[in-house]
Amino acid sequence: MSKFVFKKKFGQNFLKNQNIIDKIVDSIEPNEDDLIIEIGPGSGALTKKLKKYDATLIAFEIDLETKQYLDKLEDEKTQIIYQDFLTADILEILDKYNFTNLYIIGNLPYYITTPIIEHIIKLNLNVSSMVFMVQKEVADRFLSKPKSKNYGYMTVILNYWFNIEKIIDVDKKNFVPMPKVDSTVLRLSRKETLCVDYDKFDALVKDSFKFKRKTLNNNLKSYNRRELEIILNKHGYTLENRAEEIDLETFIDLTNNI
Q: Which residues bind ligand SAM (CB under 6 A)?
A: 10-15, 39-42, 45-46, 60-63, 66, 84-86, 107, 109, 112
Smallest distance from the beta carbon of 73 to ligand SAM, in angstroms? 12
Smallest distance from the beta carbon of 127 to ligand SAM, in angstroms? 17
Cα–Cα distance measured from residue 22 to residue 144, given in angstroms and rounded to the nearest whole number: 27
DSSP-derived pairing of the beta strands 56-60 and 78-81: parallel
Smallest distance from the beta carbon of 155 to ligand SAM, in angstroms? 23
Smallest distance from the beta carbon of 191 to ligand SAM, in angstroms? 26
CA neighbor of 43 nearest in space, from 81, 71, 84:
71
Q: Which is nearer to ligand SAM, 159 or 174 (CB)?
A: 174
Residue nearest to ligand SAM (CB): 40
Smallest distance from the beta carbon of 237 to ligand SAM, in angstroms? 39
Q: Which is nearer to ligand SAM, 120 or 228 (CB)?
A: 120
Q: Which is nearer to ligand SAM, 85 or 162 (CB)?
A: 85
Q: Which is nearer to ligand SAM, 39 or 127 (CB)?
A: 39
Smallest distance from the beta carbon of 179 to ligand SAM, in angstroms? 8
Q: Which is nearer to ligand SAM, 116 or 156 (CB)?
A: 116
Q: Which is nearer to ligand SAM, 93 or 258 (CB)?
A: 93
